[in-house]
């Protein structure tokens, strides 16, 4: 099991179930994620059923988390950091669901930073063709780097874990929630003894 480098031990049999989302799938002949999309680890079948029971529409997209998710930023100018591409696929059904929600002024909630990158990347491509506020069905590799100053086109709320310092994931979260608000949340998390990273606690930003 490809545990992230900060889990400094050999993988256990329990990791094959716990370090996996309940909605994870594999497909023969396709690349695989190098890590679990950790925000999704907070869901169980029971929680998803309750969410659907409240009338929330769930759209699923395919994500293959890349090695860049662990790559710290070691340069002075953040704009010069090169982020790894991550493979994704947005089905026609998912694209219609997300685009319909935006058209109806409903909130699009992304589970995890990789989902944010994928939706915003696809929305950026659509915007270049004049389709602002839409996501189109496509597959490919997302190479968007989101940091403070970015204007979000699709995502209205975000469920995410607490991330490492100097990470592109933390920069994305600061871009979404505002640096001061996010740093306040991190100070609270540290003071209250929250757990960080893959098996840790999460936060909801909107």
Q: How many domains does the chain divide into?
A: 1
**Is residue 6 a part of any domain in this protein?**
no
**Is residue 179 a part of any domain in this protein?**
yes
**Is residue 20 a part of any domain in this protein?**
yes
CA distances from 2 to 68, 73, 84, 118 (A): 14, 22, 18, 22
Is residue 116 within 8 A of residue 172, CB to CB? The reply is: yes
Q: The domain that contains 154 carries what CATH number?
A: 3.40.1780.10
**Is residue 204 a part of any domain in this protein?**
no
Is residue 35 within 8 A of residue 65, CB to CB? The reply is: yes
pLDDT, one tens digit for every residue, the chain (206 residues):
777 777 888 888 888 778 888 888 765 555 577 777 889 999 999 999 999 999 999 999 988 876 666 666 565 665 555 667 788 999 999 999 999 999 999 999 999 999 999 999 999 988 888 888 899 899 998 888 898 999 999 999 999 999 877 788 888 999 999 999 999 999 999 999 998 877 789 999 99
**Is residue 202 a part of any domain in this protein?**
no
The whole domain housing 61 covers 15-194
**Is residue 77 a part of any domain in this protein?**
yes
**Is residue 169 a part of any domain in this protein?**
yes
**Is residue 9 a part of any domain in this protein?**
no
User: How many C-beta atoms surround the C-beta of residue 73 within 10 A?
Assistant: 18
Is residue 33 within 8 A of residue 3, CB to CB? The reply is: no
Reported as a single tens digit per residue, the pLDDT across 130-177 is 888 899 899 998 888 898 999 999 999 999 999 877 788 888 999 999
* CB-count burial class (<10 Å; 0-12, 13-18, 19+) for 90: buried
User: How many C-beta atoms surround the C-beta of residue 104 within 10 A?
Assistant: 7
Total number of residues shown for the chain: 206
Looking at residue 91, the DSSP 8-state letter turns out to be -
pTM (predicted TM-score): 0.87
């Amino acid at each position: 099991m490809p545990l992230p480098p900060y889990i400094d031990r050999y993988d256990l049999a329990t990791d094959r179930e716990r370090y996996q989302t309940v909605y994870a799938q594999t497909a023969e002949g396709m690349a695989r994620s190098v890590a679990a999309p950790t925000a999704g680890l907070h869901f169980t079948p029971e929680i998803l059923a309750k969410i659907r029971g409240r009338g929330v529409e769930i759209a699923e997209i395919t994500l293959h988390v890349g090695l860049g998710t662990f790559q710290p930023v070691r340069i002075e100018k953040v704009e010069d950091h090169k982020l790894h591409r991550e493979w994704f696929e947005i089905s026609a059904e998912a694209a219609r669901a997300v685009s319909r929600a935006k058209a109806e002024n409903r909130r699009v909630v992304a589970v995890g930073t990789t989902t944010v990158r994928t939706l915003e990347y696809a929305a950026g491509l659509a915007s270049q063709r004049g389709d602002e506020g839409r996501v189109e069905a496509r597959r490919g590799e997302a190479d968007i780097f989101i940091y403070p100053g970015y204007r979000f086109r699709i995502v209205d709320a975000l469920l995410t874990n607490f991330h490492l310092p100097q990470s592109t994931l933390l920069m994305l979260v600061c871009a979404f929630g505002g640096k001061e608000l996010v740093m306040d949340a991190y100070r609270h998390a540290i003071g209250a003894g929250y757990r960080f990273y893959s098996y840790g606690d999460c936060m909801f930003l909107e």
